[in-house]
Amino acid sequence: MAASNVIMCGICDAQHVSNVANYWCPECDEGLCSTCKNYHSLSKASRQHGIISIDDYKKLPAEICKIEQKCTEHDKKFQMFCPRHDQLCCIMCVSENHKECTGMFLIDDVIKSSRSSTLFDSLEKSLKDIQENIEMVVKDRKANLDEIKQQHLKSLNDIKDKRRKVNSRLDELEKNIIDDLNSTETQLKLKIETLLDKLSTKLTTIELLKTNLMSVKQHGSDLQAFIGSKMLEKDVTDELKCIQNLLEDDGFSQLGMKCQIDDKVTDILSKITAFGTITIENSQSPIVIGVGHEMQAQIFTAVPTRSRSIDGITASLIGDIKVPAGPLNTCITGSSVFPDGRIIFADCYHNKRLIIVQSDGSLDSEIPLSPLLPFDVTCIDDKLIAVTICYDNKIQIIDTKTKQVTETISIGTSRGITYRQGQILFCEKGKGITEIQLSNYKVCTLVEDSTIKTDFSYITASGENIYYTTNGSIVKCYSIRGDKRWEYKDESIIMGIKGIAVDQHGIVYVNSNKNNCVVLISADGENSRTLLTAKDGIKNLYGIRLYTNKLNIVNFTGRIFQFNIA
Domain boundaries, the chain: 1-59, 116-296, 310-565
Q: Determine the average pLDDT of the residues in 55-74.
A: 79
Summarize pLDDT for 459-498 with one digit per residue, the tens. 998 878 899 998 878 999 998 888 899 999 988 888 888 8
Summarize pLDDT for 499-533 with one digit per residue, the tens. 899 987 889 999 888 888 999 999 999 999 999 98
Identical fold between 1-59 and 310-565 = no
- Exposed, middle or buried: residue 393 (CB in 10 Å: 0-12, 13-18, 19+)? middle
Residue 328 has pLDDT above 50, yes or no: yes
In the CATH scheme, what is the homologous superfamily, with its name and number, of domain 310-565?
TolB, C-terminal domain (2.120.10.30)
Domain 1-59 top-level CATH class: alpha beta
Q: Which residue has the higher pLDDT, 119 or 534?
A: 534
pLDDT at position 513 is 83
Q: Which amino acid is residue 294, in one-letter code?
A: E
Q: How far apart are CA 25 and CA 3, in angstroms?
A: 13
**Taking Cα atoms as reference points, which of 376, 395, 371, 378 lies closest to residue 333?**
376
Average pLDDT over the chain, rounded to an integer? 82
pLDDT at position 111 is 67
Q: Lowest mean pLDDT of 36-45, 122-131, 247-256, 526-535, name the range.
A: 247-256
Q: How far apart are CA 21 and CA 37, in angstroms?
A: 9
Residue ranges of E strands in 161-268: 254-261
The bridge status of strand 363-368 relative to strand 353-357 is antiparallel
Q: How far apart are CA 218 and CA 307, in angstroms?
A: 26
Residue 3 has pLDDT above 50, yes or no: no
Residue 299's pLDDT band (cuts 50, 70, 90): very low
Residue 300's pLDDT band (cuts 50, 70, 90): very low
Residue ranges of E strands in 474-558: 474-479, 484-489, 497-502, 508-512, 517-521, 528-532, 541-547, 550-555
Q: Determine the average pLDDT of the residues in 100-123.
A: 66
- Exposed, middle or buried: residue 141 (CB in 10 Å: 0-12, 13-18, 19+)? buried
Summarize pLDDT for 65-110 with one digit per residue, the tens. 777 778 888 888 888 887 777 788 888 888 888 776 666 777 776 6
